[in-house]
Structure 1
Amino acid sequence: MARESAPVGTLCDVAGLRVGHWSDPEAQTGCTVVVCPDEGCVASGEVRGGAPGTRETALLAPEKSVQRVHAVVLSGGSAFGLAAATGVVEALEARGVGFPTPFGVVPIVPAAVIYDLGVGRPLPRPDAEAGRSALEAASAAPIAQGRVGAGTGASCGKYLGFERAEPSGLGSAARTVQGAVVAALSVANPVGDLVDPSTGAVVAGARLADGRRPPPERRLETFTDALAGTNTTLVVVATDAPLSKTEAYVLAQSAHVGIARVTRPSHTPSDGDTTFALSTGRGPKVPLTLLAVAAQEVVAEAIVRGAAAARVS
């Protein structure tokens, strides 16, 4: 039986990764940058749900030739927030970090966004300067969680309207499996509620006018097409175990299972759930099945931890 730790720590438990935030508490938006070692991380990803907002995700498919990425950007601001990745790309280029080409390096920086325009003020939005600021703030210290970075304006339980939703925030968790670290960073912004996976009890989500939780059937009875494009859960799962790009894709798929464990409902046409998987390759080789199961666990834990931190941040 493989020995593994309980979910604790954060994404930066994976040696070589750094994370930085830029936050605007007044506008209730922000962005978060996961910075890889200069040589990059083997990476893949998967987009599910009907309403994603992404950049450079096509190259993450396992059959594409690019193997490594140099950073991942998660941002608020809906499609406008994808501009934050431009600032990260430009700053990394200035440092000489990127994919080598005959005429200079090209940093590979996939990005994904959440819709938070209706939470605070629709302006300002994360832009290239916000991305650069998040990159400059990146460190290997334990990650701030809750209403910070891309999670500043994240909310859940919007099926009764934005005014009935609760903050869901940014969360992170990590564990070890046979000596390898598996960790996750999440920004939960679903149309549905977030639940305790062991009990099914709602930990964050919609409330009725009197403060009570609505019965589960209300999640479906009240859905309308007006919610489309305004919800998304974003996840970065990372490990120091060596992985091929195809194996990283399996980890990205497993991350979606973690989302589904704690989100009711998840992966709807109104959501744009997107996962990224990174491997630094600096740790021990571990069976892929063990890594995949651990990824499911840390993603679920990260989402719940983010919601808990958002209530007090």
Structure 2
Amino acid sequence: MPASSSASSSPASSSGAITDVAGIEVGHFSDTRRPTGCTVILAREGAVAGVDVRGAAPGTRETDLLSPGNLVQQVHGVMLAGGSAWGLAAAEGAMRWLEERNIGMDVRFGTLPIVPAAVLFDLPMGDARIRPDAAAGYAACEAATRDAPEEGNVGAGSGALVGKLFGVHRAMKGGIGTASVTVGGVTVGALIAVNALGDVIDPDTAQPVAGARTEDGSALLDTRRALLRGDLPKPLLAGTNTTLGVIATDAVLTKVQANRLASVAHDGLARAINPVHTMSDGDTLFALATGRVPLEGPGAESSPGMTVLGTMAAEAVARATLRAVLAARSVTVGELHVPCAADLAATKG
């Protein structure tokens, strides 16, 4: 039976969580019929939002309205989902859940929840006809809490893989991870679903942790070095990868600043994934500002400015990306066995 989840079996106590940001809730839906699912990030009281799409093969919904020059000022949730473009239907379930609770934008004739969304490609994992739909999105909302969200093979990270440049048979398990950073009374958190074409790198050591493996599958290949020495990647189907994420802060931001925060946060992906932002990735990051702590004016004397906030966002993204693969567990679907970072670490030990 399909399942939803909000409890944490891999608590983010050492690295924090996006739910450390006041006003943010997270819920997962994981479909046990095959590895796929969706994750909702809720801001019931509304949040100023921005987005930055860097990958060349994105699957998104309602991103144009986040442009600083456009009318809508706040969103009420963000949906991240597997299932490729079909998975965008999960946002409809989140809209229904929010509307039932009278959460949204007053448009005179009703309350309209604003829920941007982005999807990743997890169709190689089992029956591709099973993918997140409106019911899955609704279930994710039902599961949403302020608790630190579960990480690894859950929600949008259920069917995620990393290191597919030399074929899926040499890839490893991706997942979803979270982290937060607090400076000067302001918190920035990130939630990242990692389904990258490239390897995931430990940003502190610059060493690959999960990604493409050697032919015998016993060790990491190191995709960057393999490409630079001339190893030829396998032919790729466009858009079959993608890393998605949400950065949230309790700072007061404008839409211009929120979009800038989403842009700078991609530096965290660049530290933790190599190669990143490829022609076969749809890498997309959203930024949400719940507005609990001012960056300027009265009460903001000790608060960090945008430069520090951007540094915090990139750090949270890098840490969350690493946690996504460290929390992931191996899966077997049919004849495809996909090991996780812990498996290779045990072999090395």
TM-score (norm 1): 0.94
Pick from 292, 297, 312 the counterpart of residue 294 of structure 1.
Answer: 312
Say if 2:36 is the partner of 1:36.
no
Pick from 262, 265, 273 the counterpart of residue 263 of structure 1.
Answer: 273
- Looking at structure 1, the residues matched to 74 and 14 of structure 2 have their Cα atoms a distance apart, in angstroms, of 27
CA positional deviation for 1:311? 3.4
- Looking at structure 2, the residues matched to 111 and 227 of structure 1 have their Cα atoms a distance apart, in angstroms, of 22
Pick from 222, 242, 267 the counterpart of residue 252 of structure 2.
Answer: 242
Contact 2:199–2:275 (Cα < 8 Å) also in 1:
yes
Residue in structure 2 matched with residue 51 of structure 1 by the alignment: 57
Contact 1:239–1:280 (Cα < 8 Å) also in 2:
yes
* Deviations 1:56-102, CA, capped at 9 Å, x for gaps: 01111122121100000000000000000011111211211111112
Change (3 A) 1:24 1:222: farther
Contact 1:23–1:29 (Cα < 8 Å) also in 2:
yes
Say if 2:94 is the partner of 1:94.
no
- Looking at structure 2, the residues matched to 46 and 65 of structure 1 have their Cα atoms a distance apart, in angstroms, of 18
Say if 2:120 is the partner of 1:110.
no
User: Percent identity among equivalent residues?
Assistant: 51
- Structure 2: any 5+ residue segments left out of the alignment? 1-12, 296-303, 331-339, 341-349
Contact 1:27–1:123 (Cα < 8 Å) also in 2:
no
Residue in structure 1 matched with residue 152 of structure 2 by the alignment: 146
Contact 1:28–1:121 (Cα < 8 Å) also in 2:
no
Residue in structure 2 matched with residue 176 of structure 1 by the alignment: 182
* Deviations 1:186-205, CA, capped at 9 Å, x for gaps: 00111100011122211110
Pick from 221, 226, 246 the counterpart of residue 218 of structure 1.
Answer: 226
Contact 2:253–2:289 (Cα < 8 Å) also in 1:
yes
Contact 2:167–2:234 (Cα < 8 Å) also in 1:
no
Q: Between Structure 1 and Structure 2, how many residues are aligned?
A: 307
Residue in structure 2 matched with residue 12 of structure 1 by the alignment: 19
- Looking at structure 1, the residues matched to 176 and 313 of structure 2 have their Cα atoms a distance apart, in angstroms, of 17
Which amino acid is 1:35 matched to? L
- CA RMSD in angstroms comes to 1.6
- Looking at structure 2, the residues matched to 48 and 61 of structure 1 have their Cα atoms a distance apart, in angstroms, of 15
Contact 1:41–1:69 (Cα < 8 Å) also in 2:
yes
* Deviations 1:191-247, CA, capped at 9 Å, x for gaps: 100011122211110112322222433346433552321010101001001111111
CA positional deviation for 1:53? 0.3
TM-score (norm 2): 0.85
Contact 1:192–1:219 (Cα < 8 Å) also in 2:
no
SS at match of 2:193: strand
Q: Displaced runs of 4+ in structure 1, greater than 4 A? A: none
